[in-house]
Amino acid sequence: MIRLVLASGSATRAALLRAAGLDFTAQPAPVDEASLKEAARAEGIPPADAAILLAEAKAIRVARREPEALVIGADQLLVCEGAWFDKPEGTAGARAQLQALRGRTHTLFTAMVLWRHGQRVWQHVATPRLTMRDFSDSFLDRYLALEGEAVTHSVGAYRLEGPGIQLFREVEGEHSAILGLPLLPLLGFLRQHGALD
């Protein structure tokens, strides 16, 4: 069987792969995401392509050390009405971000790139759309107090698998893609290429 390596330190992505029954190792792939995003925005690169660029940067970093493995790079961008959002800095940043997203629909561009033998062998971008309800400031205060620093760990300042689900009115898209790793297309690719039965 082909050895799988997740080029990420994300506990959520690792948990998704484990829950799906995949055997893999995880290796964080430190890249300067802020600089890559800034350059992509400055060059007018569309969000889907920027997400691919970020995922690929991570995959390449680990693939250099693991040429025989199938290396999974992943990244996610949040875009709302043309504005790109990053992981918030602290609770104050999360509050401002959630206030900006409140009552609006945003898209998550969740990208995966797989590398093996020094080349890209597959890529995929999922685009879940999520609509936040018009929640009150008092609800937002309670939510932030309940979640604490966890809100700084995701690009949207929410954990859909936790209390963050209460922020939403409508959610469209594969759950795992919202969490950061579209499992169904990944599993399909792995089956087609002999990495899974």
**Active site residue ranges:** 75
Q: How many other C-beta atoms lie within 10 A of the C-beta of residue 107? A: 18
Give strand pairing partners of 26. 6
Helix, strand, coil share (%) of the chain residues, nearest 5: 45, 25, 30
DSSP-derived letter for residue 168 is E
**Residues whose CB falls within 8 Å of the CB of residue 127, separated by 6 or more in sequence, listed in order:** 48, 107, 108, 109, 110, 173
Q: How far is residue 14's CA from residue 178's CA, in Å, rounded to a whole number?
A: 14
Residue 79 φ/ψ region, left for φ over 0, alpha for ψ in the -120 to 50 degree band, beta for the rest: beta
